[in-house]
Chain A
Amino acid sequence: MIEGLNPAWLLICGALLTPLLPRGIVRNGFMLALPVLGLIQLWGLPHGQYAQFELFNMTLITLRVDSLSFIFAVAFLIAAALAVVYAWHLDDDLQQVAGLFYPGAALGVVLAGDLMTLFIFWELAAISSVFLIWARRTERAYRAGLRYLLIQVGSGVLLLAGVIVHFRASGSITFEHLDLGSPGAPLIFLAFGIKAAFPLLHNWLQDAYPEATVTGTVVLSAFTTKMAIYALARGFAGVEILITIGVVMAMFPIFFAVIENDLRRVLAYSMNNQLGFMVVGIGIGTPLALDGAAAHAFADILFKALLFMSMGAVLLRTGTVKGSELGGLYKSMPLTAGLCMVGAASISAFPLFSAFATKSLILDAAAREGHWVAFLFLLFASAGVFHHAGIKIPYFAFFAHDSGIRCPEAPRNMLIAMGIAAVLCIGIGVFPEALYAILPYSVDFDPYTTTHVITQLQLLAWSALAFSVLVRSGIYPPELRSVNLDFDWAYRKLLPAVAVRVWDGLDRAWTCLTDTVERQVKAVIQFLSLHHGLHGQLAVTWPTGSMVLWAVLLLGACLVFYYV
C-alpha cells in the first residue's frame, strides 16, 4: 500500500504501458495485476481525503475514500479484473488499453472528492470508453460510437457548466449533497441523469452498448451508469422526484425488452430497468434505501457482467445474438448456458442469488416509507425482469427451437471469468452479510424471512407460469428480425428530417431572394438604359450639354432655397 496513491492512476498509467509489453502471458498477467493491485491499494487506504491541492482558489481533493465511494470502487475493481480475464484471448492493443483506461477513469470519478476532479475523470471515461465501440471496426459501430460520444461529452459539458455556476454561487467545489434548487445544481443533476439513463435521456445505452465488441460491452456495462448512480447517491439523495423518475425507468424498458430481438440490446434495456430500482432507492433517501441502491449497484455490476459475458460468448461463437437466429445452443455450449442461467437467476432475485439480497432493501425501504404506488410498480418491474432477462435471454439463446447451429464451447478464459462472476453472484445471495458489512450505512437487514422468501417465490413462479402459458398458447410474440423505434428515432430520423426540411426551405428562400434582387436590378438597368442608353432622351445631347443643364438646375434650386 502506498500512502495517498489513487488506484485510478494505477489503472490509467498501467493501461498506457500495456502495449509496450510482449503479448501473451506477460501482458495478460500485467493487465490482471493492475486491478488486483488497485484493490489491495484501496483496501489498505484508511478512510479519508488525500492528494489535496489548491488551484485558482479551488481546493481539489483528488482522492476521497469513505464508505460510499469504497463500495463502488471495490465493485469497479472486481469488474475490471473480470473483464480482463474475459478478454485474455484478445490480440488488440486498442481494446486492451481502453479496457483498463476506462475503468481507471470511472474509478477516478467515484474516488473524486471535488466536482472539478469529478468532471475531469467524467470526460476521460466518456472519451476512453468510445474506443470499445469503435474497436468493432465497422461503419455501423463507428456511427453508433459517434452518437454515444456526442451524448457522453454533452453530459460532461453540462456538468462543467453546473460546476462553474455552483462554484460562483457557493465558493466551494467539494462534492457533497447538493440542493436541487441551488444555482448550478439542476445542470449537474441533468448531467448525472444522462449517464444514469433517465427516461428520454436513456437511449444512448440501448443504441451503443450492443454495437460494441464482444468484450467491450462487458466492460461498458459495469462503469458509466454505475458511476452516475454513485454521483446521484452522493449529490442528490432524498430528492423526491427521483422516485418517480426511477419508477418510470424500471417500468418502460421492460416492454421494449420483450419485443427486442438483439439479446444484448434486451440486456441493455434490462440494465435501464435495474438502474430504475437504484434511482428509486436514492430518491427515498433513507439509510436503508441508500444502502439498497449501493448494494444493488454492486450486485448489478456482477450479474449484468455475467449475462453480457454469456451473450458475448454466443456472439463470438455463432456470429449473432439475435433471438430469431438462435436456439438450442445448450447442446453446443452447455457451460455457458448454465452460467447464463446463474446470471438470470441473480438478476431475477431468486432466493440464494444476489439480487434477492440487494433489491429487497430498496423494496423494503419503499414499503416502510409508505410509497405503495412505487412499491406496486417495482413489483411489476420485478416480475418483468424475470420475464425478459431471467427467462427470455436463456430461453431464446439456449433452448426454444433448435436453430441447428453447432459451435464450440466458449474459450476457457471466458468460462473462467463467467465462473468467477457466477460464484460471486451466488456468494452474495448465500452470504449477504459479507456485502452488507461494507454498505455505507451498515443497516441491519435480514432478507431471508419466511414472508420474503415465499412471496418472492410466488411472484417468480407465477411469472414463469405466465411465460409458459403464453408461449404454449402461441400468444407470446415471436422473435422477429426487426428494430424497434425508441427515443433515438428523434435524433436519428426526426432531427435529420427536420434539418433537411429546414435546409431545403432556406435554400428555396435564398433562391427566391436572389431571383427577386436580380429582377429588380435588371429593371433598374433597363430603366437607366432607356433614358441614358444609346437612344435615351438624356443621351442625345453631348455630355457637356447635359452637365450644363444639371448645373443650371442646381444653381436654380440654390436660388430658390436662398429666397425661401
Chain B
Amino acid sequence: MTFPTSPTDQPEPKRWLDDSRNVDKIFYSLALVCTGLFLADLLYHKHTYFAFENWFGFFAWYGFLCCVALVLLAKQMRKWVKRDEDYYGD
C-alpha cells in the first residue's frame, strides 16, 4: 500500500520533537518529576490500609518494577505465542 506523501513538494517544517535532543529533554524532565514524586513521601502523612503501603516510595518502585516485569515477561511470551500474520489463513 502506498501512502500519499507530503501534499506539496516543499520540505515539511521541522517539528520540535524531530530533534532528538528535545526528546532527551522530555526524558530527563520525566526523570526529574519521578525523583520529586519519590521524595514527596517525606512531606506528608500517608493514610493507608496495609503496612506495605507505608514503605518508602512504595507506589513508585512498585509501579516501575511491575512495568519492567510486564515487558520482560511479555517478551518471553512472544516466543510461545507469536505466529505469522496469515497464520489463520484469512
- A interface list, Cβ under 8 A from B: 139-140, 143, 254-256, 258-259, 318-320, 330-331, 367-368, 370, 372, 375, 379-380, 383-384, 387, 399, 402-407, 449-451, 454-468, 470, 472, 475-477, 480-486, 492-493
Contacts and interface: CB of A to CB of B under 8 A. Distances in A.
Contacts of A456: 59
B47 interface: yes
Interface string B31-55: 1011001101100101111101100
Interface residues of B, number: 55
**Secondary structure of the A side of the interface?**
helix
B34 A461 contact: yes
A383 B48 CA distance: 19
A478 to B, nearest CB: 10
16 contacts: A254-B70, A255-B70, A256-B81, A330-B17, A368-B49, A372-B52, A380-B62, A399-B17, A406-B7, A407-B4, A458-B37, A463-B64, A477-B74, A483-B85, A484-B77, A493-B88
Contacts of B19: none
A93 B51 CA distance: 59
Contact of A458 (B47, B50, B57, B88): B57
Given A143-B90, A463-B66, A482-B83, A407 B3 contact: yes
A460 B46 CA distance: 18
A259 B75 CA distance: 7
B82 interface: yes
A384 B66 contact: yes
B15 interface: yes
Interface string B1-38: 10111110000100101100000000100110110011
B89 to A, nearest CB: 10
A430 to B, nearest CB: 21
Given A368-B49, A387-B70, A459-B59, A484 B78 contact: yes
A483 B81 CA distance: 8
Contacts of A466: 63-64, 67-68, 71
B34 A451 contact: no
Closest 5 CB pairs of A and B: A466-B67, A367-B49, A258-B74, A459-B63, A458-B59
A346 B49 CA distance: 25
A375 B48 CA distance: 12
Given A459-B62, A462-B64, A482 B49 contact: no
Contacts of A254: 70
Contacts, number: 163
Contact of B40 (A319, A330, A454, A493): A454
A461 B33 contact: yes
B71 A140 contact: no
Contact of B71 (A375, A407, A477, A481): A477
Contact of B83 (A140, A258, A459, A485): A485
A405 B82 contact: no
A139 B82 contact: no
B61 to A, nearest CB: 7
Given A259-B75, A465-B30, A481-B85, A404 B90 contact: no
B78 to A, nearest CB: 5
Nearest to B86: A483
Given A459-B62, A462-B59, A468-B30, 14 more contacts: A139-B90, A256-B77, A367-B50, A379-B62, A383-B66, A383-B67, A456-B59, A457-B37, A461-B34, A463-B64, A464-B30, A466-B68, A480-B82, A485-B83
Contacts of A367: 49-50
A262 to B, nearest CB: 10
Given A143-B90, A459-B60, A482 B67 contact: no
Nearest to B46: A451
Nearest to A142: B90
A462 B82 CA distance: 29
